[in-house]
Structure 1
């Protein structure tokens, strides 16, 4: 039994390596760090009770952990985005900007035939990655703007909080969707290795 357990762990490690096979080592670690940090932020947000009329003096320890964690995530996100953009072309992550939707159409066709498309520049996976990066940038920047506004006592802070919460909703959708497709790719790989 212990040998079976170790075999499963080794196979799981190989599967996770398979998911990140095309990424440079630095990007793999940044990916894991951003993923962990976003998960931490989402978990903290479940314990938060900040509303449009919450004064700065009523911010709790959990709220502060989320705020300062968000400021750290802002720095990490800028680094991550910069590294991804320096390695890939903007047209790979945002193919609609160049008008080249060939890869997207091919990947959607593959999905409609009940198969998972391989990751390719300008394809569905790259486009979703690009949208996820934009959603993350939006979430961290709107969080920073809200925190700055509430700290300065600006009347716009409730609006910025609403925008921030909406952008975090986009991150949650991306987080769960991205995780689901990663799991499906891992499952497909696992079953092929039987």
Structure 2
């Protein structure tokens, strides 16, 4: 079973450069850590730093550490794929997205293509990741310097994290669908 899973994951990531694969894996683990640790946090706008618990600190310092990795990942992916591939709607490139949606309506999983639905979702996921880490970092710095708007930034961060959470679950779900499709295709070819 483990070898089947490894083969399927390798097939999904076969076209990615090793740096991108590594960053993808690291960020996935980091996001899982952030989501799990956030469930145990009880930070409010009036929580004093001396009242922060270990889980609060783990989440904050891990999030601060995620910032440069997330920016690096964004730059690596953007340089390889280009803005028009990740954000085709921004450039009025709708043809491939429409084609992918037609395939989904037929209950077929469209293969990833440039400027397609998968690329668009990846671009939105990268944007959601950056929003989460930048808003969290902004809150951390604002509260550290005692700025009056830090509570607004904390509320903003908590709201924006919902986007990355939604993306994470959707991305994982579609990855599982692709794995099942890979296994089904391999079973049929035997």
Is 1:141 the counterpart of 2:126? The answer is no
Unaligned runs of 5+ in 1: 1-7
The residue that corresponds to 1:5 in the other structure is none
The residue that corresponds to 1:130 in the other structure is 123
Match of residue 32, structure 1, among 14, 25, 28: 25
The residue that corresponds to 2:92 in the other structure is 99
The residue that corresponds to 1:61 in the other structure is 54
The residue that corresponds to 1:4 in the other structure is none
Is 1:48 the counterpart of 2:41? The answer is yes
Match of residue 159, structure 2, among 159, 166, 186: 166
Q: Distance in 2 between matches of 1:155 and 1:60?
A: 23
Q: CA offset at residue 56 of structure 1?
A: 2.4
Aligned positions, number: 187
Is 1:82 the counterpart of 2:75? The answer is yes
TM-score by length of 1: 0.94
RMSD in angstroms over aligned alpha carbons? 0.9
Q: Distance in 2 between matches of 1:156 and 1:63?
A: 20
Match of residue 171, structure 2, among 170, 178, 184: 178
Match of residue 104, structure 2, among 91, 102, 111: 111
Q: Distance in 2 between matches of 1:52 and 1:192?
A: 52
TM-score by length of 2: 0.96
Q: Secondary structure at the match of 1:193?
A: helix
The residue that corresponds to 1:18 in the other structure is 11
Unaligned runs of 5+ in 2: none
